[in-house]
Amino acid sequence: MTKHKIYKMSFASVYPHYVTKAEKKGRTKSEVDEQLAQTRDFSRE
């Protein structure tokens, strides 16, 4: 069975696309970062 392309992509290459999509929907980069931190259970402090 072949792996999907998404499994070969690094997060660094996908992140700008998350930010662009969020900005199109009226969100900010900091909101994207906050959501990703919550998703990953990661805190900047």
Cα distance between residue 9 and residue 3, in whole Å: 11
Angle between helices 29-40 and 11-24 (to 10 degrees): 130
pLDDT over 60 (residue 2): yes
What pLDDT does residue 44 have?
Answer: 54
What are the residue ranges spanned by the domains of the chain? 5-42
pLDDT digits (tens, 9 = 90+) for 17-35: 999 999 999 999 999 999 9
